[in-house]
A and B are shown apart, each in its own frame.
Chain A
Amino acid sequence: MSLLEISGASLGFDERVLWSDLNLSVEPGEFIALIGANGSGKSMLLKTILGTQQLSGGSISFAGKPAGTQNHLIGYVPQHRTADAGLPLRVIDAVRFGLDGHKFGPTFAGRAAREKSLQALRRVDAEHLANEPVGKLSGGEMQRVRVAQAIMSEPKLILADEPLSALDLKHQQRVSELINEQRERLGSAVIFVTHDLNPIIDYVDRVIYLAQGRHSIGTTDEVMQSEVLSNLYGTEIDVVRNQGRIVVLGAHDHEHHEDEEWT
């Protein structure tokens, strides 16, 4: 039994089909990159795994149960947004939310929870931030804190929704590295949404590429080829490799026409 089982899944709104007939089995410890144009339904795929978005067809099961019923086993790292400066919250308390933030009732300042939060912060090199207000953190710092928050419940699956956007190159690499370290430590699977494969290229086992309502799934070498992507986009795409890095040429010019093609 795989950890995550997506079978025959499709999602569409009105006439517009985001993706269809998607089949994927994710095993524990697998690192999967989810790539695609803006509006191709990457975040929506994560939402269907979380059960907060219903599929149009097919089914998803996670940890042997229907999607949405085992979310305490999922760690979620969102896109970076600066926390509101008006939020009276210290980093250590924010990290603790990963454990019990969804529970009603007063918080008790338990030593065990505090120690666990500090340990999570230590794992992402952010222990020194423990008493800082979240509103004062930089982008890289905030993303590290979000990773710490996501690993609090020792998740079996880490869903990262563009965690690198708005970060500079150095922090992109550091945050990717941290997520990979936690995957290795916890043996959890990772689904990592990104625009750019390069910061995570050394960790990725498989790639899901979404474009134009179609998708391609396979190893990096299988998917990141001119021919495969040209087929997906239905136009000429060049995949260029240079010193272990991959650059996709042509895909971005095409993004602007997406909506026209779907109507």
Chain B
Amino acid sequence: MIDISDIFNFSNYDQLIPLVANSLWAGALLALIGGLVGVFVMHRELSFAVHGISELSFAGAAIFLLIGLDVVLGSVFGSLLAAAIIAFLGDKARDRNSIVAVLMPFGLGIGIMALSLYPGRAANKFGLLTGQIVAVDDPKLTTMVITAVIVVAALVVLWRPLTFASLDAEVAAARGVNTRLLGIGFVMLLGLAVAAAVQIVGALLVLALLVTPAAAALRLSSSQFWVPALSVMFALVSMLGGTLLALGGTLPISPYVTTISFLIYLVARLIQYSRAKVVRN
């Protein structure tokens, strides 16, 4: 029998909140990063690359865990390595997809091997794949703050030429935009964002934060201001809502986050559909 209190349980809730203050902050930062990066993931068609990078990020984290080094560092190392491979070899969309498809199972395999060899607690192992909330200590939060500052600052600087290059790469190149360098730069930023997300929601579910909110936002608007704003908002609601719901039960955080994120996407599609219907009538 499934015990419903495993999934939803709000007893002693007031005492639990302070324990996850760090997690809530980390979640909010992650939502900011994921929501913004997601917009570019959508218009540069990098959804699949996000998945590939997250598997290598997982592998990096698992290997570092096994050999006794910092897990966060391992995760950043793995995802930047994957991002570099994808950025330099996968210039064309078709090449990129096959490279990602080749990297992904390899990364996952290496990660599972490292976890199987790791003698420590099983909760640590699963956390990398499916996410964990209580494990955000102060150093981890600091890493998250630094990542968020780097990613957001870089995106603000690159926003315009990146969008220009997505619209018409040739025209942007004619105006002096180094489209290739810009593309590589963005995938490296994506690597950082993925590494941050793997810490909280786990490698398997990174897409729920880096793709779903932006995809939902795009259903509702095409404004350069509202798409990123809505995307961040949706990511925030999923992330914070998911964390607060996960607090009571015994399940990992990810099912809550992914479900909220998915529901927002469904609602966005419904709104788009009903709008189109109104226009047609």
Contacts and interface: CB of A to CB of B under 8 A. Distances in A.
A244 interface: no
Measured as residues with beta carbon below 8 angstroms from the partner, the interface class of chain A is 20 to 34
B159 A102 contact: no
Interface stretch (A14-22, A90-98, A201-209, A219-227): A90-98
B167 A102 contact: no
A52 B173 contact: yes
Given A83-B167, A84-B45, A104-B160, A135 B222 contact: yes
B224 interface: yes
B123 interface: no
Contacts, number: 98
Contacts of A150: 171
B262 interface: no
B274 interface: no
B176 interface: yes
Nearest to B159: A106
Contact of A105 (B160, B166, B173): B160
A97 B163 CA distance: 9
Contacts of B164: 97, 101-102
Interface stretch (A1-9, A71-79, A179-187): A71-79
A102 B43 contact: no
Nearest to A103: B160
A83 B172 CA distance: 14
B168 interface: yes
Given A72-B175, A102-B175, A105-B156, A78 B168 contact: yes
A89 B175 contact: no
Interface string B166-197: 11101111111100000000000000000000
Contacts of B170: 76, 78, 161
Contacts of B161: 101-104
Nearest to B47: A86
A144 interface: no
Contact of A89 (B176, B177, B217, B222): B222
Interface in A136-156: 146, 149-150
A193 to B, nearest CB: 12
A76 B222 CA distance: 25
A169 interface: no
B186 to A, nearest CB: 13
Report the interface size class on chain B.
20 to 34
Interface in B40-74: 42-43, 45
* Majority DSSP secondary structure for residues of B touching A: helix
B270 interface: no
A88 B175 contact: no
A74 B166 CA distance: 20
B188 to A, nearest CB: 16
A241 B221 CA distance: 51
A106 B223 contact: no
B159 A87 contact: no
B154 to A, nearest CB: 10
From A78, A150, A159, residue with most partner B Cβ within 10 Å? A78
A94 B174 contact: no
Given A84-B166, A87-B43, A97-B167, A104 B157 contact: yes
B28 interface: no
B161 to A, nearest CB: 6
A19 B177 CA distance: 27
Interface in A40-84: 50, 52, 71-72, 74, 76, 78, 81, 83-84
A11 interface: no
A199 interface: no
A87 B217 CA distance: 11
B218 interface: yes
Contacts of B228: 88
Nearest to A46: B174
Interface string A153-168: 0000001010000000
B171 A78 contact: yes
Nearest to A50: B174
A138 to B, nearest CB: 16
21 contacts: A52-B173, A71-B174, A76-B170, A76-B171, A81-B168, A84-B45, A86-B45, A88-B222, A89-B163, A89-B167, A90-B224, A97-B163, A101-B164, A102-B175, A103-B160, A104-B160, A106-B156, A106-B159, A106-B160, A107-B159, A133-B222
Given A84-B43, A86-B42, 12 more contacts: A72-B176, A86-B45, A88-B39, A88-B221, A89-B224, A90-B224, A94-B167, A97-B160, A97-B171, A97-B172, A101-B175, A107-B159
The list of the 4 closest CB pairs from A to B, nearest first, reads A133-B222, A101-B164, A88-B227, A76-B174
